[in-house]
Amino acid sequence: MNRRPLLLTQGDPSGIGPELTLKAWLQRERASLPPFAVVADPDHLGRVATALGWNVPIQVAQPSQVHAIFSRALPVLPLSAAVSARAGQPDPASAPSVIESIETAVRLVRAGEASAVVTNPIAKHVLYEAGFRHPGHTEFLAALASDGGSESWHPVMMLWSEQLAVVPVTVHIPLSDVPSALTTDLIVTTGRIVARELRERFGIAAPRLALAGLNPHAGESGSMGTEDMRVIAPAVEILRQDGIDAAGPLPADTMFHARARSRYDAALAMYHDQALIPIKTIAFDEAVNVTLGLPFVRTSPDHGTAFDIAGKGIARPDSLIAAIRLAARLGAP
């Protein structure tokens, strides 16, 4: 048994993260969840539980104590300062606690005191107002992985479910910028990382990658755009030369039905919505965001802070529960 616990981060305390964490603990036995702790303000979590009428005993703990505590109380690794957030009311004053929670979880995982990080949703616009310098969660994690050293990391976002795993090669950029941002080198780097992590973390001996075309019908031999022939096809050939089972560029509109999905282990899409539309259609409540290419395991629910329903107790914990399960699987020794 892996005796190192999973660590959940607080996320934005005004969003649904705190109540999802509480719900996950309440469903720990029915969902067969491994022991986890959350890096948060225990008093804030207690107020959330009380406001929702949930009986969740909360106990301050160290990572080594989590296994002994988990069956009877939610273990909490306390932050250095109190959190005064109100549900549904995002406040830049909460930013230091959000950042401290992430930093603490990553530090403990890298020190070998925990097995993986499961991040609750954050609101980037709230962090930006407080002076946060990173484009997003993933970039911040990559910076923490480097820890001021010379080694740099290329994080890759995978959306994973039992039915489908997809990777957007370009992520949070305007659609108009995708053709210029998409390069053969970027596709090859992404494909290599995905193949490696499917082997090393997911235990797939010979990963099969399917690469989507950028244009309709994968460019129709150049009549609907040349990027598929000029940029994507050479990347597929390089990946094949590396010994990776890569296919493409394939017409994206025929890649995601059940029979097509049986022919690959992960699909590489060329832009954000090309990847996220199919997985959110197929596995909206169960999909997990997995960051590949880092020296530690990080998963996250595939949804946002949902400020509009925070504090109402109606948010579904399915994706967080799936993220906890996958983190335990990937973080196992």
Say if residue 299 is in the same domain as residue 208: no
169 and 137, same structural domain? no
Lowest mean pLDDT among 27-41, 183-197, 251-265, 319-333: 319-333
- Residue 113 predicted with pLDDT over 50: yes
| pLDDT value of residue 183 | 98
- Rounded to 5 degrees, what are φ and ψ at 190? -65, -45
Residue 1 predicted with pLDDT over 60: no
Q: Is residue 285 part of a domain?
A: no
Mean pLDDT value of segment 33-49? 96
Residue type, 61: A
What is the Cα–Cα distance from 151 to 146, expressed in whole angstroms?
A: 6
Classify residue 1: in a domain, yes or no. no
Supply the mean pLDDT for the chain.
93
Total tally of structural domains belonging to the chain: 2
Provide the whole-model pTM.
Answer: 0.91
For residue 173, is pLDDT > 80? yes
| pLDDT at position 128 | 85
Q: Which residues are annotated as a binding site?
A: 137-138, 172, 217, 272, 280, 289, 298
Encode pLDDT of 69-87 as tens digits. Answer: 999 999 999 999 889 999 9
> Residue ranges for the binding site for a divalent metal cation?
172, 217, 272
Nearest to 283 by CA among 114, 141, 166, 186: 166
114 and 168 together in one domain: no
Q: What is the pLDDT of residue 81?
A: 87
Closest CA to 70 of 84, 82, 59: 59
Half-sphere exposure of 152 (CA within 13 A, CB side): 2
- What is the model's pLDDT at position 220? 85
CA atoms within 13 A on the CB side of 182: 30
Q: What is the predicted pLDDT for the residue at 277?
A: 96
Residue 222 binned pLDDT confidence (cut-offs 50, 70, 90):
confident
How confident is the model at residue 303, as a pLDDT?
87
Strand order in the sheet with 245-250: 58-60, 74-78, 36-40, 6-9, 116-118, 298-301, 288-292, 156-160, 165-168, 266-269, 208-212, 245-250
At 49 the pLDDT is: 96
Angle of CA points 113, 192, 165, to nearest 5°: 75
Asked if residue 114 and residue 94 are part of one domain, the reply reads yes
DSSP 191: H
More confident residue, 245 or 138: 245
95-110 and 137-146 helices, crossing angle to 10°: 50
Whether pLDDT at 317 is above 50: yes
Q: Is residue 251 part of a domain?
A: yes
> Do 17 and 134 lie in a common domain?
yes
Same domain, 241 and 269: yes
Among 68-77, 110-119, 214-223, the range scoring the smallest mean pLDDT is 214-223
Q: Determine the pLDDT at residue 259.
A: 96
Domain range for 257 = 163-280
- Inter-residue contact 295 to 109 (CB < 8 Å): no
The lowest-confidence range among 137-146, 235-244, 259-268, 284-293 is: 137-146
Domain assignment present for 317: yes
Q: Strand, coil or helix: what is 192?
A: helix
Q: Are residues 19 and 117 in the same domain?
A: yes
Which is more confident, 2 or 254?
254
Domain annotation covers residue 288 = no
Which residues are part of a known binding site for substrate? 137-138, 280, 289, 298
137 and 241 both lie in a single domain: no
**Can you tell me the mean pLDDT for 271-276?**
96
- Does position 226 have pLDDT exceeding 50, yes or no? yes
State how beta strands 298-301 and 288-292 pair: antiparallel
Indicate whether 12 and 142 sit together in one domain: yes
pLDDT band at 135 (very low <50, low <70, confident <90, very high): confident
Q: Is residue 137 part of a domain?
A: yes
Task: Say whether pLDDT at 294 is over 80.
Answer: yes
Q: Are residues 274 and 307 in the same domain?
A: no
Kindly tell me if the per-residue pLDDT of 59 is higher than 70.
yes
In a domain, 215, yes or no: yes
Residues 88 and 18 reside in one and the same domain: yes
Residues 221 and 198 in one domain: yes
- Residue 108 belongs to domain with CATH number: 3.40.718.10
Question: DSSP 3-state assignment of 313?
Answer: coil
Does pLDDT of 36 surpass 80?
Answer: yes
pLDDT of residue 2: 57
Vertex 57 angle, CA 54 and 58, to 5°: 115
Q: Do the domain assignments include residue 290?
A: no
* Residue 247 bridge partners (DSSP): 210
Helix axes 42-52, 17-26, angle to 10 degrees: 70
